[in-house]
Amino acid sequence: MILKPRLLTLVFEKKVFKISNKFIGTENSRRFGFIPVGDAVLNNIPVPGKNFRAITYDEKEGVIRLGWEEVFRWIPSSKEKKQIIFELDMRETIPHTAMRIFSESEESPILFVNIPKQLKIYV
């Protein structure tokens, strides 16, 4: 599914989801990712001193972060279309919820397990 404004309020749970966002010709840094339902944000900005466990991709620097920590850096060549796909496996029938991140058609080495059972989009 492509990221659309109406998805910003959707809570992802109990199924498998693939969500992508494409950035074309951008100059500014753009973030896209997921945050647990109930984590502290004010106008979609983390509240200092509060729990912040978002998994995000920053398009300008090509950084995938877990919270504030850089986990992986992917900077495509200028000829590539910049697209990240998050695959969320939130099924209740599996022992561990998981998130895989794809850059274009390549699976990156990023795999998060035991992610929270309810997530929402963080941009």
CA 32 to chain centre: 5
Confidence at 32, pLDDT banded by 50, 70, 90 = confident
CA angle (104 as vertex; 23, 20 as ends), nearest 5: 55
Per-residue model confidence as pLDDT tens digits over 3-23: 555 555 667 778 887 877 665
| Residue 26 in this model has a pLDDT that exceeds 80 | no
CATH class, 5-122 region = mainly beta
Per-residue model confidence as pLDDT tens digits over 81-94: 566 778 888 888 88
Contacts of 22 (CB under 8 A, 6+ apart): 2, 81, 82, 83
Higher pLDDT, 34 or 77: 34
| Residue 110 in this model has a pLDDT that exceeds 70 | no
